[in-house]
């Protein structure tokens, strides 16, 4: 989703929808904790597609706020930000660009010899550049999502998986442990997924 707030402020926000709110809450505390503790200034710059170097002047801030709707984590670099928040069963990652000229767009022009010359130039405000706004914003969002995918989970979901991964007894019979990496389990999972995807 792309929201044009003003002529020079753009918000790009994909939503990750969970079937149940409880499913999101099982992992969100771990995700928000990792976002605050594990990430630093260089990570925030990387999320926004900037390479850390001595020529960049500006403040990088990571902060959190608890609201009635849920917990919000915000990464700020200069006037740009990426926000991570939960609301009911929705996980939202939202990038807001406040100064598009700090990002580059590929432009073309003709030189004196009539040849077309392409170069990266500061991105200007305007509807014609929405495609590049979208590229920059979605790139920032998904770099954050990829980083969060490596967050160490310690919540209830991990405890449940740990329980399933141990052999158990039921009605006096021993039940083998669930091993998601075993070849038989993978084959059964793929078969079940194919059956669910069949039209019916």
Mean pLDDT in order along the chain per 10 residues (200 residues): 58 86 87 88 88 73 85 90 91 88 84 86 81 88 88 64 67 68 44 41
170 lies in the same domain as 144:
no
pLDDT the model gives residue 189 = 40
Classify residue 159: in a domain, yes or no.
no
Q: How far is CA 136 from CA 59, 67, 84, 145, 199, in A?
A: 20, 28, 17, 14, 37
pLDDT the model gives residue 76 = 92
Dig out the tokens for 57 from the structure.
């002047």
Query: What domain count does the chain have?
Result: 2
With 0.75 as the threshold, say if the pTM is over it. no
Classify residue 11: in a domain, yes or no.
yes
19 lies in the same domain as 95:
yes
115 lies in the same domain as 172:
no
Residue partners of 120: CB distance under 8 A and separation at least 6: 104, 105, 106, 107
For residue 194, how far is the Cα from the chain centroid?
28
149 lies in the same domain as 78:
yes
Answer whether 95's CB lies under 8 Å from 75's CB: no
82 lies in the same domain as 145:
yes
Classify residue 111: in a domain, yes or no.
yes
28 lies in the same domain as 49:
yes
Classify residue 64: in a domain, yes or no.
yes
36 lies in the same domain as 87:
yes
Classify residue 160: in a domain, yes or no.
no
Classify residue 28: in a domain, yes or no.
yes
123 lies in the same domain as 36:
yes
pLDDT the model gives residue 155 = 63
13 lies in the same domain as 103:
yes
Rounded CA gap, 179 and 165, in Å?
Answer: 6
Classify residue 27: in a domain, yes or no.
yes
61 lies in the same domain as 108:
yes
Range of the domain at 30: 2-153
Classify residue 30: in a domain, yes or no.
yes
Rounded CA gap, 189 and 31, in Å?
Answer: 26
């Amino acid at each position: 989703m792309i929201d044009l707030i003003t002529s020079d402020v753009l918000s790009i926000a994909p939503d990750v929808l969970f079937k149940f709110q409880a499913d999101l809450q099982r992992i969100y505390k771990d995700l928000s904790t990792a976002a605050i503790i594990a990430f630093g200034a260089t990570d925030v710059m990387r999320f926004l597609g900037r390479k850390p170097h001595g020529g960049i002047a500006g403040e990088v801030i990571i902060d959190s706020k608890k609201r009635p709707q849920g917990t919000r984590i915000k990464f700020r670099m200069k006037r740009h930000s990426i926000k991570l928040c939960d609301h009911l069963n929705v996980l939202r990652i939202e990038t807001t660009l406040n100064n598009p000229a700090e990002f580059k767009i590929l432009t073309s022009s003709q030189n004196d010899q009539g040849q077309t010359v392409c170069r990266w130039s500061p991105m200007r405000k305007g509807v014609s550049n929405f495609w590049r706004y979208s590229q920059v914003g979605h790139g920032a969002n998904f770099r954050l999502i990829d980083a969060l995918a490596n967050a160490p989970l310690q919540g209830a979901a991990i405890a449940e998986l740990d329980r399933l991964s141990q052999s158990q007894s039921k009605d006096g019979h021993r039940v083998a442990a669930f091993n998601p990496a075993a070849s038989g389990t993978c084959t059964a999972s793929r078969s079940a997924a194919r059956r669910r995807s069949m039209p019916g």
